[in-house]
Amino acid sequence: QVQLVESGGGLVQAGGSRRLSCAASGHGFNSYAMGWFRQAPGKEREFVAAISRSGGSTYTADSVKGRFTISRDNAKNTVSLQMNSLKPEDTAVYYCAARKYWGNARYATSWNEYEYWGQGTQVTVDS
């Protein structure tokens, strides 16, 4: 089992940057593909980015491609989301999630296939 705790959310000006972190506790972190999802008020949960268990493959949603970067450090049991050029439409609660998956990250985009979730961290982008 894996416990996930996100941090790094807050208020940021449009065009600014923010780095979210997710700390995992439990066993076998490098057995899990990791993903970031977000949910804005009144909207469905949305895939943001995923990274394979080794970090060898990543995949980001078209809406954030070129602005957001996912990375992981298996030695520290952490996964991060670097967010640049933030826009007001990026405002949401951001969730870190984990699933046992050994394939390419581009096929790890469905939120209902993730087994473990953090509590979420709010990111608000002020125009």
Integer Cα distance of 114 and 7 in angstroms = 19
The residue count for the chain: 127
Q: Reading across the β-sheet that carries 2-7, which strands appear in turn? A: 2-7, 18-26, 78-83, 68-73
φ, ψ of residue 106 to 5 degrees: the values are -65, -15
Helix (H) or strand (E) holding 51: strand 46-51
**In this structure, what token pair is assigned to residue 112?**
């209902």
Contact 22, 35 (CB under 8 A): no
Predicted local confidence at residue 1, as pLDDT: 85
Tens of each residue's pLDDT in the chain, 127 residues: 899 999 999 999 999 999 999 999 988 999 999 999 999 999 999 999 999 999 999 999 999 999 999 999 999 999 999 999 999 999 999 999 999 988 999 999 999 999 999 999 999 999 8
Q: Please tell me whether residue 50 adopts helix, strand or coil conformation.
A: strand
Spatial separation of the C-alpha atoms in residues 32 and 35, rounded to whole Å: 10
